[in-house]
Amino acid sequence: MSFISYLINGISLGSIYAIIALGYTMVYGIAKMLNFAHGDVIMIGAFVVLNMVTLAGVNPIIAVLISMAVCTLLGMAIEKIAYKPLRNASSPLAVLITAIGVSYFLQNLALIIFGADAKSFPNLITLPSISLADGKLVITGTTIATIITCVIILLGLTFFVNKTKQGRAMKAVSEDKGAAMLMGINVNATISLTFAIGSGLAAIAGFLLCSAYPSLTPYTGAMPGIKAFTAAVFGGIGSIPGAMIGGILLGVIEILGKAYISSQVADAIVFAVLIIVLLVKPTGLFGKNIQEKV
Amino acid sequence: MKKKISNNMITYGMILLFYVIMQVMISTGSISSLLQGLLVPLCMYAIAAVSLNLVVGFSGELSLGQAGFMCVGAYASAFFTKLTEETLPEGPRFLIAILIGAVVAAIFGFLIGIPVLRLRGDYLAIVTLAFGEIIKNLVSVFHVGVDKSGIHFSVKDAASLNLDEEGRVLIDGPLGITGTPKNANFTIGIILLFLTVFIVLNLVNSRSGRAITAIRDNRIAAESIGLNVTKYKLMAFVISTALAGVAGVLYSHNLSTLNVKFFNYNTSILILVFVVLGGIGNVKGSIIAAILLTALPELLRELQDYRMLIYAILLIGMMLFNWAPSAIAFRERVKDKFKSNKKEAA
Amino acid sequence: MKNLKKVLALLFVAVLLVSTVAGCGKKEDSDNGGSGSSSDESVFKIGGIGPLTGEAAVYGVAVKNGAELAVKEINEAGGIDGVPIEFKMEDDVHDAEKSVNAYNTLKDWGMQMVMGTVTSDPCIAVQSEAANDNIFLLTPSGTAVDAIKGPNAFRVCFSDPDQGTKSAEFIADHDLGKKIAVIYDSSITYSKGIYDNFVKEAKNQGLEIVSAEAYTTDSNKDFKVQLQKAKDSNADLLFLPIYYQEASLILKQADAMGYAPKVFGCDGLDGILNFDAEGTEGVMLLTPFVANADDELTKHFVESYKSSYKETPIQFAADAYDAIYAIKAAAEDAKITPDMSASDISDKMQASMLNIEVEGLTGTIQWKEDGEPNKEPKAVIIEDGEYQSLD
């Protein structure tokens, strides 16, 4: 019985990683860059929700929508100011380092605006929890909400990418920027749109992260960001279902490792599994294996 | 060819000049305590940056685990120093400690490099990051003590080492190693930096070095002319980790406390920042960027709360200025204008 | 590429120039200082070191606020024997190397005494530097044993071994439980230090540790596994030698899984009521400072802290406040003057620290030769969202 309960824990933790990983993977797929600042956009999103609800007394759903709008604008601004000028730089690493700079910037900005002390995040998800097997298995409302949201986003994104014009443009740009441009696709607008969607998702992720683990500091986004990035690679970075599966697997491995091996070295176990998976399948679970041609 | 040699000479000269200026300032007493305290860390970061540049710049692989190898070097050498603190004289002991740090880090680099270097690009990056985190996590559960009956080891706590009365705990879990003597000084730091640069530049300009860069530029072509790709990649990686180990030795012998917290992915990333800002494959640039970015937050202390915010903005600004194609074009224009003005004046 | 080098080289030269000039400038006012430094103005220069940015910033900021409040009060009341205090706090990002940089920066400023550092690992590094320079050091909250190794170093808070031992004693004396489950952070010295010593003392007191589960700072969000194990072990009491942010998450997650253990914690739990009182009913903690105690001193401190900084002080602020008053008391006992060198001040302060008794927020404190404070912890229980005394 405890195994099932651990498994549920793992899935609920993993679904949060998954939602963050979706943002990573979308941006990577198109801009071919690891957006290190993604975790910090999540943190900003959570702060916006918190302040909207506690200071302005806004309805939670509206607060999340406002937060999505703020993060979307923030994501587009970051892309425009910090990443776009480096798109044609001689090394792809340049934009990676700038992303790290943006990450420092957002953390320290939040530190100045919101202060260093941890803020308690109010419980805004009012779904009742489900109790199974005489209360031995409890699935909280937050977990249910997270998993449902995650599935909706996954389906929505899959539909968007495959069926809409902008989505297909996105796919085209990620496959071949030059060819896409020749086909009359506005590459700049498409990349900007990707950042907008990725950052909007970050706001939702921030809300769900802090609802599940209600403590918020300017550094809240950093570690989940790194773990979600790991999850995205695990699933094959650039692949939308890969990010989802990778996130959930990562959460399950972390919880089971803690439960059955050692809680002291749980982090090491997660990373060890990641390494083994990548050694067996060097492009992740769902990654495309691109054959190099001469 | 000649240009390359003179460029290398500039790098050596720059280190020497830095050393002489600092020494003059120290001997005339016109150096601030802050700068004097920063000298060893500056050497440490410069060594780490040059070592990573070998992998990122010349071998063309993205590694995010350099701090993990520094951690191994730091722990191995500090452990040795603490173990032999009473039995060996300071000079030879520190020399051996440096070697131990380098060798142990190299062994780890070798063992990790064999499986990992098969991966490419961002996948390699994430696996090296993962190894760095694993090293950090595992080292922080070790408890090692020594008494008359030998070395005791536990992953639980210091009490379960069962030391006798005179026993000493050398590595105490998350507390790490405390009280390592401060053997590192600026002169040793500069010598080690000099050696690091010497090793890297000589390797790069050797036959093996040309093979390494050939593999970076076109792996398939390099393979087709019979170069052993794995061997050369591993060679660059192992040398890089050994040098990172040396940087770790400097770290652990400069502070009286050593624990794994410092060696997390943030430090690995910081070193990568030095490399990229200084110019990928540019040894001199790595050193300058390491010094600049280490000193910068200290010089910004006057700004109080806004210190790290300004640091972040400056970092983004410098990256854009150095790397953005439009900024490069702008700089070229300014340079041309400057030159033509000069000509006219002449 | 070539241009880039030039730009960098230029910047580098600029940095060197700035630091050289800074070095020269500082030299002048430390000319008569010798190894340490002193200033010709008649103020005592106390330097504070702690994390003002980074993940531990909450503790550093609290110390800064508490210390500044005490300095302001002392200066308004005429200073130390008529000499005002100048206090300056430098950021160390909770990193040993940066902490030494902060220490050196303060030395250049002309610091005569150190009030810091706030966190343990940096404190070990800084105290070793301060011992070399013979500068007096009083850490408000560095709990590791080695944080006050030198003869010049003292502390206000309890050490890790002290807290672990006292917790085990208290639990046994008050018969709070026989079977104990522990959840601790194995990656920070504070938590691990208390845990190790708690285990040692528990054996002597006849307590049985039935479950001991760790977590690390890298995975400090989800505690359901640790809680499940504590629950399955049928423990009477859950011991949490950790900080309140994680403790609050633990209590909420326990609540969600329908587990309601008796909870006992150390001073790290103080602050949990201001953070989130939900699920804290019945939690006991051993802490030297409680923000809603009704003695005059605490009331006055909490009020002026709230009016200055718009939040309720945590224990770190109280430690810093006491530290500054302890420095004042010792300085008056030692009859030091601002024109003395830092090293002379340190020698006199070391001797005087043993003479003084400070009626502080964190208890009535006397100091022992090894630099440890001698004071009694207060045990409190949370009832109706308020601390109530347990004694």
pLDDT digits (tens, 9 = 90+) for B143-195: 898 888 888 888 877 777 777 777 888 888 888 899 899 999 999 999 999 99
Q: In this complex, which of A93, A237, A275 lies closest to B280 when CB atoms are compared?
A: A93
**Domains of chain C (ranges plus CATH)?**
34-158+297-375 (3.40.50.2300), 161-287 (3.40.50.2300)
Say yes or no for a CB contact (<8 Å) between C20 and B25.
Answer: yes
Chain B residues near residue C220 by CB distance under 8 angstroms: none
Q: Where are the alpha helices (DSSP H) in chain B?
A: 2-28, 33-53, 66-83, 90-116, 121-139, 186-204, 207-217, 219-224, 229-252, 265-278, 283-299, 307-323, 325-345
CA-based nearest residue in chain A for residue C213: A263
Burial (CB < 10 A; 0-12, 13-18, 19+), residue B121, is middle
Of C186, C213, C248, the CB nearest to A215: C248
B303 Cβ neighbours under 8 A, 6+ residues apart: B310
DSSP assignment string, C50-65: E-SSSTTHHHHHHHHH
Q: Is A260 on the interface with B (CB under 8 A)?
A: no
* Contact (CB, 8 A) for C244 and C278: no
Contact residues, A window 210-229, toward B, CB-based 8 Å cutoff: 226, 229
Query: What is the enclosing helix (H) or strand (E) of C86?
Result: strand C85-91
Please judge whether C91 and B140 are an interchain contact, meaning their C-beta atoms are less than 8 angstroms apart: no
**Closest residue to A268, CB basis, from B134, B315, B327:** B134
Mean pLDDT (chain B, rounded): 90
B301 touches chain C (CB under 8 A): yes
Q: Which phi and psi angles does C80 have, rounded to 5°? A: -90, 110
- CB atoms near residue A189 (< 10 Å): 12
pLDDT tens-digit map of B213-224? 999 998 889 989
At the topology level, CATH places domain A2-280 in ABC transporter involved in vitamin B12 uptake, BtuC (1.10.3470)
CB contact under 8 A, C125 and B298: no
Question: B241-300: per-residue pLDDT in tens?
Answer: 999 999 999 999 999 999 898 998 889 999 999 999 999 989 999 999 999 999 999 988
Residue with tokens 């708690």: C198
Q: What does the angle CA A264 – CA A266 – CA A270 come to, to the nearest 5 degrees?
A: 160
Higher pLDDT, A175 or B53: B53
Best of B127, B141, B154, B282 to disrupt the A interface by mutation (most A CBs within 10 Å)?
B127
Residue B188 covered by a domain? yes
Q: Which residues are paired to C85 by β-bridges?
A: C44
pLDDT of residue A294: 53
- How far does C94 lie from chain A, in Å, by closest CA? 13
B19: left (phi over 0), alpha (psi -120 to 50) or beta: alpha
Contact check, Cβ <8 Å, C192/B298: no
Distance CA C101, CA A293 (A): 52
Min CA distance, A148 vs chain C (Å)? Answer: 19
Instruction: Specify the 3-state DSSP secondary structure of C380.
Output: strand
Which residue in C3, C52, C225, C243 has the most chain A C-beta atoms within 10 A of its own C-beta, making it the best mutation to test that interface? C225
Domain boundaries, position B236: 2-140+176-345
Tell which of B276, B286, B304 to mutate to test the A interface (max A CBs under 10 Å): B276
Is B168 part of any domain? no
Q: Are the C-beta atoms of B152 and B145 separated by less than 8 Å?
A: yes
Answer whether A272 sits within 8 Å of B134, measured CB to CB. Answer: yes
Test the A interface: residue of C2, C222, C253 with most A CBs within 10 Å = C222
Most C CBs within 10 Å, among A117, A209, A226, A261, to test the C interface: A117
User: Closest Cα of chain C to A76: distance in Å?
Assistant: 26
C-beta atoms of C121 and B282 within 8 A:
no
Residue of B192, B186, B191, B184 whose CA lies nearest to B252 = B184
- Which chain A positions have a beta carbon within 8 Å of B273's beta carbon? 97, 100
Residues of B with Cβ-Cβ distance to C50 under 8 angstroms: none
- The answer, for C55 touching chain A at a CB cutoff of 8 Å, is yes
Which of A115, A117, A213 lies nearest to residue C221, judging by beta carbons? A213
Q: Do B159 and C200 touch (CB under 8 A)?
A: yes
Q: Give C358's DSSP letter.
A: E
Which chains border A (3 or more CB–CB pairs < 8 Å)? B, C
Q: Is B123 on the interface with C (CB under 8 A)?
A: no
How confident is the model at residue C31, as a pLDDT?
37
pLDDT at C127: 93
Of residues C61, C228, C275, nearest to A2 (C-beta):
C228
CB contact under 8 Å between A259 and C55, yes or no, is: no
- Nearest CB partner across the interface for C27, out of B30, B37, B335: B30
Q: Kindly state the tokens that stand for C149.
A: 């190794």
Through-space distance between the first and last CA atoms of chain C, rounded to whole angstroms: 72
B233, amino acid identity: K
> Are A102 and B325 inside 8 Å of each other by CB?
no
- Considering only CB atoms, C104 lies closest to which of B30, B37, B289, namely B37
Which residues on chain C are in Cβ contact (under 8 Å) with B321? Answer: 7
C178 touches chain B (CB under 8 A): no
Listed as ranges, residues in chain A with pLDDT below 50 are: none
Across the interface, which of C8, C108, C124 has its CB nearest the CB of B256? C124
Chain C residue numbers touching B259 (CB-CB < 8 A) = 121, 189
Does residue A237 sit at the B interface (CB-CB below 8 Å)?
Answer: yes
Q: Do A104 and B312 touch (CB under 8 A)?
A: yes
Phi, psi of C198 (to 5 degrees): -65, -45
Q: Is C319 on the interface with B (CB under 8 A)?
A: no
Number of domains in chain B: 1
- Sign of the dihedral defined by the CA atoms of residues A152, A154, A160, A163, in that order: negative
Of A223, A224, A263, the CB nearest to C215: A263
Distance, in angstroms, between A49 CA and closest chain C CA?
17
What are the angstrom distances between the C-alpha of C100 and each of C10, C115, C288? 28, 14, 29
Contact A91 B326 (CB under 8 A): no
Q: Which residues of A touch B220 (CB under 8 A)?
A: 292, 294
pLDDT value at residue C34: 37
- C8 with B278: Cβ contact below 8 A: yes
**Which CATH number covers residue B41?**
1.10.3470
| DSSP state for residue C367 in the 8-state scheme | E
Interface residue A243 vs chain B (CB under 8 A): no
Q: Is B168 left (phi over 0), alpha (psi -120 to 50) or beta?
A: beta
Closest by CA to A241, choosing from A16, A9, A11, A21, is A21
pLDDT by residue, tens only, chain C of 391 residues: 445 555 555 555 555 445 444 444 443 333 333 334 444 568 999 999 999 988 888 899 999 999 999 999 999 999 999 999 999 999 999 999 999 999 999 999 999 999 989 998 899 999 999 999 999 999 999 988 889 998 999 999 999 888 999 999 999 998 898 999 999 998 888 898 899 889 989 999 999 999 999 998 888 888 989 998 999 899 989 999 999 889 999 998 898 888 889 999 998 888 888 888 888 889 998 888 888 788 899 999 999 999 999 888 888 999 999 999 999 999 999 999 999 999 999 999 999 999 999 999 998 999 999 999 998 888 889 988 888 887 6
Rounded (5°) CA angle A182-A185-A191: 120
* Domain definitions of chain A by residue range: 2-280
Give tens-digit pLDDT for B133-156.
999 989 988 889 888 888 888 887
